[in-house]
Structure 1
Amino acid sequence: MAVLDIEGYVTKLMQAESRPLDNYAKKTAALQQKNSALNQVSAAVGAFQGALTSLNQSNTFQGLSATPSNKDVFSGSATTGAVPGKYKVNVTQLAQSQSLKTSGMASTTSTIGSGAPTNLTFQFGTVSGGTFGATGNALGLASAAGGIANGSLSLNGVAISTGPTTRSARALAEAINAQSGKTGVVATAGSTETAADLFAGFGQVSVDTGSSYALSVGGVQLANLNTGSAPLTGAALDTSLASAGTRNALAAANITVSGSAADGTLQFTAADGNTIDVTETVTGTVRGGIKHADNAVNAGATTTATAGVTLRSNDGNQILVAGNNPAAAGFTAGSVGAHMGSDFSLNGALNSKTITLAAGDQTLQGIRDAINKGDMGVTATIVSDGSNKPYHLVLTSNKTGEATSMKVSVAGEDGAAADPALAALLGYDPAGTQGMTQTAGAQSTLLNMNGIEIKSDSTTVKDAIQGVTLEINGLGSSTMTVSKDTAAISTAVNEFVKAYNALNTTMSGLTKYNAETKKGGVLQGDASVRSIQTQMRRQISEVMEGTGGKLTSLSQIGIAFQQDGSLKLDSTKLSKAITENAADFGGLFAAMGSTTDGLVKFDKSTAATKAGTYGVNITSLATQGTLASSAALGASTTIAPNTVWRVTLNQTEPATESKTQEVKLPAGTYNKDDLAALLRSAINGNATFAGAGDTVESKIGDDGLLTLSSSKYGAASNIALTSMSGSSIDSIFGSSTPSKGADVVGTIGGVAATGNGQSLTAAAGSNATGIQVSITGGVLGDRGTVTFSQGFAFQLNNLATSFVGKDSLIKSKTDGLNTSIKTIADQAARFETRLDSMEKRYRAQFVALDATLSSMQSTSDYLTQQLASLAANR
């Protein structure tokens, strides 16, 4: 058994030895508390920076709102450049995308045509002229005589009111147009013409005694013969028609005359679509006349000429014709609508693309999938109408606007003829054969603003009112009021004051001395926090030079320090400052740049840029890489089948492989403008170019020359073309060689600046360091000035960054504290290691001592026993 309480002795000894660890813990806790306090300061500074964000943005100070009187028509938002005022807006049409459908198919998986590879080319453009709708047949004699019974015709579900007086194309058109607001359909009466051969063989008219003959056209009497009248010959009829009285009477009836009766070419025309009745009224015995020889007896008759009407869809949608007898109005029941007499011009801004339908793709499903995978700018779907051939391929343009109408060309590979079945199904040319049916027409948003007609490709209308964006919601009229909106400025200033006071409260609470508890704050006497407080207060109290306005200090807008170091905002003074000097708030708070030349745009600055006004002088404007034809183009140019060009665009040094691409041009004959649009859309449709932001522009100059240019400016702008197959480059551009672009050259603040495309950046080391402007045109030489100001929010944000950012004051301090904490932790760890060794040593010593004492105890016990035994034996 142990003689000593080893655990008790070791525990007490180690408690005494480990007391220095408490000092390490106290030091660590103190440092961690201070570190946490500094992190609180850092967070408060970060929150203060957040409150500066809106004050450091120029759009906060635009001070304008756009409020519509009827939000069902549009909503609005105002940006920089808007001018206060009221604007009357009437929206008459909403933008929509074009949609086409194929004829019905019995299956979605059956092969269409022979299965030979087929190219589909999608081009986009504008349909102009002509009409989208349908032309009906001329009215029948029954309708011309008794009118069109009510209920006979309805359009798009709206009944057209007709009756006994609806005897002409004109009357029918008027009845249809009376419902245009409901149907979206406008009718135009065709021109009524009598038959070209009506007066061929006009026999000399003679009357027997007691007989009479009268000839009238549209109710206007042209001849009247009685007993004793001279015979009426064709020449005599022409003489009658030539008289002023007859001509005036016919004109009053809207009837014009062409040809002559003498040679049998006489015709009567009613351009307004009125029915023309040519009537011969006979009593007794009459010989000759219309379709009668000289001696042939004429019993009299009426010949009626009628016209039909043409329907035009206002929105390019199909027109649903119905009613209990639409044939009476010249139509067949069902959906009607196609482009008639229209032209199509290419839109070079939209990319044209070609895909190949390979074996297996030539089904409705295959065509749909190939189009959708090909990124054609078109979405393809299949719909079923429930008929015996229910499946239709529906193509919808992904963009809206009148310049987004589709033209779909179908061709075989390498210039071969298209498969007839696929061509008939998919071919669509608004100016030619339309194999598909347009179910919705491409159209733009149309509106009238204060008497000015405005057009937009989408329902978002920008800068119709300068600086205002309209989001069109529906048709109708509304008033847009653009007025000062000071709420954003007031809110931002209030948030600034609130955030600063929160920061001040945080710093004061951590540094003040509490007289009651007689304890100082964790950071009392901390030099870094004192420095932050001092620099912040100094910056806020400064008078700012070069703001570009009347406001130069925060006290002018009602911000002032109180005795406790917090800020107080005088709302009345702020409101007055905003009302009187709203435009000056931007310069007071934000980093602002402005130029005096409209074609010199301020782009950006840096933290190193110094406030000031700097002159801008341009020696050379930036140019684009271009290729211009050597001669004016002819009226039309034919692109041969399988025309492929290798296009090199914005090539770099060393060369980049992706900067050269093969581009296929759709075959066809193009006018000059369409050819320019074709080249632009075909090149810009290349996915590799588009992905890299490499695009081209094209135009036909007043001299008839075609110019193709890179959309980029500067030394990196270049373009080159090489013929691969089909039509050669020379056939269009002649012997011209391309020219490379050049960067803008000039000075800012009298010091040579660096040009990069149209951007000019001030020289490093100059006062204007970091200023970048864009020179988008204009003359060479003096281009005015660029002014840069650094407002309070900008400077306070930079100052705050120096407190909490990388290599900042607080970061340096917390890094030092963390290092100290780590050092103490290392010291404590080493001390704990020594304690472990010491405990082991104590334990070993006490164990050895215990063993010795145990041995001694055993000896003592033995001796005691022996002595006791000796004593007993005496």
Structure 2
Amino acid sequence: MALTLGGLASGLQTTDIINQLVAVQGNSQTLLKTRQTEQNSAVSAYSSMLSSIGSLVTQMSTLAKTDGWATTSATSSSTSVSATATGSVANSLTFDVTAVAAAHSVISDGSVSSLGANVAASGTIELDKNGTKTSINVGTGTLSEVVSAINSSNAGVTASAVQTSPGTYRLQISSTTTGSASSFTVAGLSGFSGASGAMVPLTTGTDAKIRVGDPATGYDITSSTNTFTDVAQGLSFTVSKVESGVTVKSAVDTTKVSDQISGVVTNINNLLSSISSNTAWDASSKKGGPLLGDSTVRQLSQQILSTVAGLNAPGLSVTSGGQLQFDKTTFDTAYKSDPAGTMAKYGASSSFAAASGTAASATYTNATAATQAGTYGVNVTSQAKAEQWQVIPPNSGVVGRTVALLRGTTTVKYDIPANESNVDAAAKLNTMLAQQGMGITASADSSGGGITFTATNPGSAGSFSVTQTETAGGATYGTSTQKEEGADIKGTINGVEATGIGNILSVPVDSDDPAAGLSVQVTSTAVGNIGDITYKPGLAQQFGSLFTQMSDSQTGSLVQAQTTAKAQVKDLQTQIDAWTDRLEAYRTSITAKFTAMETSLSSLKAQQSSLTSFFNSSSSSSS
């Protein structure tokens, strides 16, 4: 009878057995990989939401600046009158254009035969424009040199040599500005062949004029240019010819703002949908979204919906499905009937309670997403002051008085005639200062005959200087004195030292105070505690604050949640790598054991073969 061990050395699929054993041990690693995949999905979901929130922060910052809402459009009944509108108030004005603005110009009474003809024998001419005298060096005095010198003088006029016929030239000088104040005279020219040999008027500088109402009971409005600004609130227009019955209108146009709000609503709804899908449980697949159970994003969704529901901003509501809805018609109606109230709902608003016995006011002008709603005390340690100078008149009879004002790189000079009153001089100076946009006003002193100059706005930025030159017989008379140095307001808001610019106090944006970033415009005649300002953020400011809290690179809730998820992905990878090494060692170990087993079985098989041969041989011998 033959002895057999059943083919143990070759009958087993040892490779498959080893793989299955390793796979069983590798179930823990597979679970780790599944968790890592889920965390990577969470990281991607956080990234997508943070990207959406980043865009919303920018949108909210723009929407919160309600003073930039371009909400009016203008129309004109005449093609020769163009109108523009600003602000948020509808308006209308009907008028007759009775005159258009013209620039003053003069022309030589006679002519010369060539550009090289001498027309200024003294080599110098003097231009007098509204009392400001400019001496112009014209070289040898040829017509060509006179034209070039005038055009290079920056004296507010331009010159040209007009050839009226072959070999006949006349000199024309025109003001660079229009209006009655553009008049000027020129002295020192000669050599022209006309009856007087002097410069004669060509056109008279005139103001543009409109008549509002009928000829008997109406009123006139003038402008040194053809543009009339804010004649009716928020409505400006430019005329170009004389005509009657012109009507200009401004109408509230909310298209730009409502489109902006619609865009915000769409993006917020996309964010809400993303939160919903990422936190949902699918009953059919028995799987949840990557952020299932995440309280941070759930809280964000609830805060968005509760903010909208609580503010009751015109046109904006919450649907039963947890989305926002914007009704443009409702918004338009509310804005047209109450623009300030509607702006406050979307931007921000403030109220002020003055301290007892204090005549003061404070109004919110700006805030950041970090600024929290609340009531904050305003304390003024020193008031804003407008720069002020006084020109003291010289001794009686002194001539050649020149007053020069310098602000930045702009200078205005005026030669005051000896017999001119300080009232007339102040009036002329105000015109010159306004034309140069100096931000300074002149006023005649009630006694002493002096003139006081005051910066239009308070603060150090309005600083300027005044010099007065008066010389007669080698002696100088009169002085210019700084009566008040321009200074910015100083004080605190909610006890925090604020930065002052003009009469605006601002809490530093990097302050850890709830009022951080709040700016208020202060009007007060007192120092010390002037009262409390209550700041109330509207929809855009509240959303801006919420989204910033979620997305701040250091402290944002979503950023921290994403950082945690990334850390978990990294930690899981470390565990996965450790399991890879562990499984490789396990595979090596059991492979060695199976190899030893196979070796033993192979040895046994060889012994079996020998025994079988032995017994078979013994059996044959017995036979």
Q: Does 1:443 align with 2:207?
A: yes
Deviation at 1:623, TM superposition (A): 4.4
Structure 2 unmatched ranges of 5 or more: 1-32, 574-623
Secondary structure class of the residue paired with 1:421: coil
State which of 437, 440, 443 in structure 2 corresponds to 1:699.
443
Q: Does 1:376 align with 2:152?
A: no
1:101-159 Cα deviation digits (max 9, x unpaired): 4565544466654584x3654524xxxxxxxxxxxxxxxxxxxxxxxxxxxxxxxxxxx
- Partner of residue 731, structure 1: 477
Indicate how the Cα distance of structure 1 residues 806 and 367 shifts in structure 2: closer, same or farther if over 3 A, else same.
farther
Indicate how the Cα distance of structure 1 residues 387 and 676 shifts in structure 2: closer, same or farther if over 3 A, else same.
farther
Give the whole-Å Cα distance in 1 for the aligned partners of 2:413 and 2:337. Answer: 62
- Partner of residue 392, structure 2: 629
Give the whole-Å Cα distance in 1 for the aligned partners of 2:379 and 2:63. Answer: 28
1:249-282 Cα deviation digits (max 9, x unpaired): xxxxxxxxxxxxxxxxxxxxxxxxxxxxxxxxxx
Equivalent residue runs for 1:291-440 within 5 Å: 352=132, 354=134, 356-357=136-137, 359=139, 362-381=141-160, 383-390=162-169, 392-397=171-176, 399-403=177-181, 405-410=182-187, 418=188, 420-421=189-190, 435-439=199-203
- Partner of residue 466, structure 1: 233
Tell me if structure 1 keeps the 8 A contact 2:97–2:211: yes
State which of 257, 272, 275 in structure 2 corresponds to 1:504.
272
Structure 1 unmatched ranges of 5 or more: 1-24, 125-345, 347-351, 411-417, 426-431, 545-552, 651-657, 826-874
Give the whole-Å Cα distance in 2 for the aligned partners of 1:523 and 1:444. Answer: 69
Q: Which amino acid aligns with 2:234?
A: G
- Partner of residue 770, structure 1: 518
- Partner of residue 801, structure 1: 548
1:456-500 Cα deviation digits (max 9, x unpaired): 233332232233333445532134556665656654543432232
- Partner of residue 21, structure 2: none
Give the whole-Å Cα distance in 2 for the aligned partners of 1:390 and 1:621. Answer: 59
Give the whole-Å Cα distance in 2 for the aligned partners of 1:570 and 1:663. Answer: 55
Deviation at 1:559, TM superposition (A): 0.7
Deviation at 1:792, TM superposition (A): 0.8
State which of 95, 100, 109 in structure 2 corresponds to 1:94.
100
Tell me if structure 1 keeps the 8 A contact 2:46–2:562: yes
Q: Which amino acid aligns with 2:420?
A: N
Tell me if structure 1 keeps the 8 A contact 2:96–2:211: yes
Deviation at 1:787, TM superposition (A): 5.6
Q: Which amino acid aligns with 2:65?
A: Q
Indicate how the Cα distance of structure 1 residues 714 and 392 shifts in structure 2: closer, same or farther if over 3 A, else same.
same
- Partner of residue 585, structure 1: 342
Indicate how the Cα distance of structure 1 residues 363 and 714 shifts in structure 2: closer, same or farther if over 3 A, else same.
same
Higher-Rg member (1/2): 1
Deviation at 1:501, TM superposition (A): 1.7
Indicate how the Cα distance of structure 1 residues 487 and 680 shifts in structure 2: closer, same or farther if over 3 A, else same.
closer
Deviation at 1:604, TM superposition (A): 2.1
- Partner of residue 620, structure 2: none
Give the whole-Å Cα distance in 1 for the aligned partners of 2:475 and 2:87. Answer: 46
Give the whole-Å Cα distance in 2 for the aligned partners of 1:752 and 1:35. Answer: 40
Indicate how the Cα distance of structure 1 residues 497 and 574 shifts in structure 2: closer, same or farther if over 3 A, else same.
same
Q: Does 1:536 align with 2:299?
A: no
Tell me if structure 2 keeps the 8 A contact 1:714–1:757: yes
Give the whole-Å Cα distance in 2 for the aligned partners of 1:396 and 1:464. Answer: 26
Give the whole-Å Cα distance in 2 for the aligned partners of 1:678 and 1:584. Answer: 43
- Partner of residue 49, structure 2: 41
Indicate how the Cα distance of structure 1 residues 703 and 803 shifts in structure 2: closer, same or farther if over 3 A, else same.
same
Indicate how the Cα distance of structure 1 residues 604 and 638 shifts in structure 2: closer, same or farther if over 3 A, else same.
same
Deviation at 1:626, TM superposition (A): 1.9
Q: What TM-score results when the alignment is normalised by the length of structure 2?
A: 0.63
- Partner of residue 320, structure 2: 562
Secondary structure class of the residue paired with 1:45: helix
Q: Which amino acid aligns with 1:98?
A: H
Equivalent residue runs for 1:191-340 within 5 Å: none
TM-align CA RMSD: 5.7
Give the whole-Å Cα distance in 2 for the aligned partners of 1:111 and 1:33. Answer: 90
State which of 400, 406, 415 in structure 2 corresponds to 1:639.
400
Q: Which amino acid aligns with 2:99?
A: Q
Secondary structure class of the residue paired with 1:627: strand
Of residues 741-750 and 795-804 in structure 1, the stretch that sits farther from structure 2 once superposed is: 741-750
- Partner of residue 609, structure 2: none
Q: Which amino acid aligns with 1:75?
A: A
Equivalent residue runs for 1:112-127 within 5 Å: 112-114=119-121, 116=123, 118=124, 120-121=126-127, 123-124=129-130
Indicate how the Cα distance of structure 1 residues 747 and 667 shifts in structure 2: closer, same or farther if over 3 A, else same.
closer
Indicate how the Cα distance of structure 1 residues 663 and 466 shifts in structure 2: closer, same or farther if over 3 A, else same.
closer
Give the whole-Å Cα distance in 1 for the aligned partners of 2:37 and 2:153. Answer: 66
Give the whole-Å Cα distance in 2 for the aligned partners of 1:809 and 1:560. Answer: 24
Give the whole-Å Cα distance in 2 for the aligned partners of 1:114 and 1:823. Answer: 96
Q: Which amino acid aligns with 2:543?
A: L
Give the number of equivalent residue pairs: 525
Tell me if structure 1 keeps the 8 A contact 2:444–2:450: yes
1:195-215 Cα deviation digits (max 9, x unpaired): xxxxxxxxxxxxxxxxxxxxx
Indicate how the Cα distance of structure 1 residues 99 and 364 shifts in structure 2: closer, same or farther if over 3 A, else same.
same
Tell me if structure 1 keeps the 8 A contact 2:39–2:290: no
Give the whole-Å Cα distance in 2 for the aligned partners of 1:750 and 1:518. Answer: 54
Tell me if structure 2 keeps the 8 A contact 1:401–1:445: no
Equivalent residue runs for 1:712-861 within 5 Å: 713-714=458-459, 717=463, 719=465, 721=467, 723=469, 731-733=477-479, 737-741=481-485, 743=487, 758-761=502-505, 770-775=518-523, 788-804=535-551, 807=554, 808=556
Secondary structure class of the residue paired with 1:705: coil
Tell me if structure 1 keeps the 8 A contact 2:116–2:144: yes
Indicate how the Cα distance of structure 1 residues 722 and 501 shifts in structure 2: closer, same or farther if over 3 A, else same.
same
Secondary structure class of the residue paired with 1:376: coil
Tell me if structure 1 keeps the 8 A contact 2:398–2:418: yes
- Partner of residue 477, structure 1: 245
Give the whole-Å Cα distance in 2 for the aligned partners of 1:64 and 1:469. Answer: 12
- Partner of residue 455, structure 1: 222
- Partner of residue 581, structure 2: none
Deviation at 1:448, TM superposition (A): 1.4
Q: What TM-score results when the alignment is normalised by the length of structure 1?
A: 0.47
- Partner of residue 18, structure 2: none
Indicate how the Cα distance of structure 1 residues 620 and 518 shifts in structure 2: closer, same or farther if over 3 A, else same.
closer
Tell me if structure 2 keeps the 8 A contact 1:69–1:480: yes
Deviation at 1:436, TM superposition (A): 4.8
- Partner of residue 278, structure 1: none
Deviation at 1:674, TM superposition (A): 5.2
Tell me if structure 2 keeps the 8 A contact 1:94–1:444: yes
Secondary structure class of the residue paired with 2:190: helix
Secondary structure class of the residue paired with 2:210: strand
Secondary structure class of the residue paired with 1:88: strand
Give the whole-Å Cα distance in 1 for the aligned partners of 2:564 and 2:238. Answer: 56
- Partner of residue 262, structure 1: none
1:685-714 Cα deviation digits (max 9, x unpaired): 9xxxx8xx9775433233352224352645
Indicate how the Cα distance of structure 1 residues 679 and 567 shifts in structure 2: closer, same or farther if over 3 A, else same.
closer
